[in-house]
Amino acid sequence: MIYNYAKNIEVIEETDVLVVGGGPAGIAAAVASSRVGVKVILAERFGAVGGNLTLGNVSPILGKVSEGTIYDEIVSLLSEKHKDEEKVETRNGKEIHIDAEEAKGILIKFLKDNNVSVMLQSALADVITENEEIKGVILTTHMGLKAVMAKRVVDATGDGIVAYLSGCEYEMGRDDGLTQPVTLEFTVGNVDESRAIMCFGGSDPVTLPDGRKYSDFCKECEAKGILPENVSIVRLHKTFYKGERNVNATQMNEINGLKYEDLYKAEVTLRNQIERVIDFLRKYIPGYENCMLKTSASTLGVRETRRIKGEYQVCDSDVENGNHYDDAIVHDAWFLIDIHNPKGGGQAEGRSKMAKPYDIRYGALLPVGIRNLILSGRCISGTHRAHASYRVMAICMATGEAAGIAAALSIKENVTLKELGAEKVREALTKKGVVL
Ligand SMILES: Cc1cc2nc3c(=O)[nH]c(=O)nc-3n(C[C@H](O)[C@H](O)[C@H](O)COP(=O)(O)OP(=O)(O)OC[C@H]3O[C@@H](n4cnc5c(N)ncnc54)[C@H](O)[C@@H]3O)c2cc1C
């Protein structure tokens, strides 16, 4: 059944650049755009900014990019109170720990200090398009539906919602359509630091005091039903605070992160898994006997949904071979090809494969079909395997920064994003000290 609905909608704001989504990519985009000297509004559906970094309870920040990007600045802001913190170096690279609670305040201040107007609790509902251009968007606010008109729009929703509503094509998942599993991350406290292990992933060679490999023990517990189905590794990351671990373990497969009925199913299942994982830690892992739940993600952690079709697609070879390009707007991006198994536990390819520091080309941010929209973060154009690397937060911040600069510059130069070209964005990035 289709219900036809027509309504006059009040235009409450007009802006140069509108960034939709206030996660790592959106924050970077909004600040970078504003610094070019245009009017910027950031619309965020929740009541706090940070996306997965805050409300997803996701820590540490992983991945690397070349020096001088906004990632360096954000990490330094988030680490300011924890300068003496010893960095953990793993196969994942350097783990940058964050305090999600502290980050909510730091990031909103960062936006304010950089003259970004933030509309909180304002979710994108629709996009007004005309002749392959976005004229504005419709947001759901507490005063009903309102319109914001914009010259350029940055899609930083993670799910590529602006692009989707504008009619852009996209891909999702691997060849069989399955995506990486969803997870609710949580933090436990009351851990005995003198005895408790840490574990960053399934290939971490950490052992239990009796000499057993911890990852084998987790697999055994999953097979026996002590750990929930497909939870074959319980990752235990250090935080800033003694006696605390950030736990990345719960997992549900074959969930479509775009469907509300699947999100509900996953929320129910994973809240129950949190209890079971804590029981496992208390019963079997030394140092965790008295651990207790401190915080958990306020929203389901969705690793993979839409990858919008762009003028260029970051491909497997880019990431595997470390390809470099003259039109790179992110240089030396690096993270493992980290495919959490879409069908089963552990990694899809047995073990996450190494990537070589690679470039992200400007074309991967330009969606095919809409002239004044630019992509950032998790939803940029790439293959399933490439996405498994560039989806980490360091790289999302860097694509966000480039997208924000491009959006602002294209207004100043009165050209489309495509006409602007990579060179102008590269000039601006290089001028601020980014190594390209
Ligand atoms: C369980 C899990 C564990 C992970 N572990 C790590 C890790 O250890 N280290 C790491 O670096 N990365 C990790 N990642 C990946 C990383 O967190 C994400 O890929 C990254 O946060 C993506 O950044 P983003 O800004 O593109 O999207 P997000 O962080 O998802 O931010 C998107 C923002 O857009 C907002 N939004 C969405 N829809 C709308 C709408 N309709 N209207 C307005 N606003 C909207 C959201 O509320 C959110 O604030 C993990 C991801 C998951 C799910």
From the CB of 342, is ligand 1 less than 6 Å away? no
**Cα–Cα distance, 172 to 302 (Å, whole number):** 13
Is position 6 within any domain?
no
pLDDT digit string (tens) for 149-178? 999 999 999 999 999 999 999 999 999 999
Distance between CA atoms of 292 and 290, rounded to whole angstroms?
Answer: 6
Helix (H, G, I), strand (E, B) or coil at 317: helix
CA distance 98 to 284: 27
Judge if the beta carbon of residue 95 lies within 6 A of ligand 1: no
Out of 296, 329, 352, pick the residue that ends a domain. 296
**Is residue 199 over pLDDT 80?**
yes
Which of 296, 323, 343 lies at the terminal end of a domain, its last residue? 296
**pLDDT single digits (tens) 124-139:** 999 999 999 999 999 9
Residue 86 Cα distances to 66, 125, 194, 328, 368, angstroms? 22, 43, 16, 33, 44
pLDDT digits (tens, 9 = 90+) for 171-197: 999 999 999 999 999 999 999 999 999
Residue 23 in contact with ligand 1 by CB distance below 6 A: yes
Q: What is the pLDDT of residue 352?
A: 86
- What are the tokens at 393? 């937060």
Is residue 221, in this structure, part of any structural domain at all? yes
Closest-CA residue to 257 (of 248, 246, 247, 270): 270
pLDDT computed for residue 20 by the predictor: 99
Q: What are phi and psi of 327, to 5 degrees?
A: -105, 30
Pick from 151, 171, 150: which is nearest to 160 by CA?
171
Q: Are residues 355 and 418 both part of a single domain?
A: yes
In sequence order, the 6+-apart residues with CB closer than 8 A to the CB of 418 are: 311, 366, 371
User: Does one domain contain both 160 and 190?
Assistant: no
Our count of domains for the chain comes to 2
Q: What is the mean pLDDT of residues 286-314?
A: 98
317 and 401 share a domain? yes
| 307-312: average pLDDT | 98
3-state secondary structure of 79: helix
Closest CA to 179 of 269, 102, 256: 256
What band does 37 get if pLDDT is binned at 50, 70 and 90? very high
Q: Are 79 and 33 in the same domain?
A: yes
Residue 429 is predicted with a pLDDT of: 98
Contact 22, 50 (CB under 8 A): yes
pTM above 0.95, yes or no: yes
- Nearest Cα residue to atom 53 of ligand 1: 301
Q: Residue 179 falls within a domain, yes or no?
A: no
End-to-end CA distance of the chain: 52
**Is the domain of 313 the same as that of 357?**
yes
Residue 206: other Cβ atoms inside 10 A: 13
User: Are 290 and 310 in the same domain?
Assistant: no
Does ligand 1 come within 6 angstroms of the Cβ of 58? yes
Rounded distance, CA 384 to CA 304, Å? 9
Residues 360-402: tens digit of each pLDDT: 999 999 999 999 999 999 999 999 999 999 999 999 999 999 9
Q: 248: CA distance to ligand 1 center in Å? A: 15
Given the DSSP bridges, would you call strands 373-375 and 144-155 parallel, antiparallel or unpaired?
A: parallel
Range of the domain at 423: 11-174+305-431
Residue 181 lies in a domain: no
Q: Are residues 105 and 166 in the same domain?
A: yes
Write down the pLDDT at residue 154.
Answer: 99
The residue among 278, 296, 314 that closes a domain is 296
For ligand 1, mutation pick of 119, 236, 393, 399 (most atoms within 8 Å of CB):
393
Q: What is the pLDDT of residues 47-68, one digit of tens each?
A: 999 999 999 999 899 999 999 9
Does residue 87 have a pLDDT over 80?
Answer: no
**What's the half-sphere exposure (Cβ side, CA atoms, 13 Å) at 242?**
4
Q: Which pLDDT belongs to residue 95?
A: 79
| pLDDT at residue 93 is higher than 80 | no
Q: Is the CB of 61 under 6 A from ligand 1?
A: yes
Instruction: Check whether 92 has a pLDDT greater than 80.
Output: no
pLDDT confidence of residue 200 = 87
pLDDT at 300: 98
Nearest to 30 by CA among 115, 121, 127, 140: 115
Question: What does pLDDT average to over the chain?
Answer: 96
- Nearest in space to 199 (alpha carbons), one of 181, 180, 213: 213
Q: What is the pLDDT of residues 390-433, one digit of tens each?
A: 999 999 999 999 999 999 999 999 999 999 999 999 999 999 99
The pLDDT assigned to 208 comes to 95
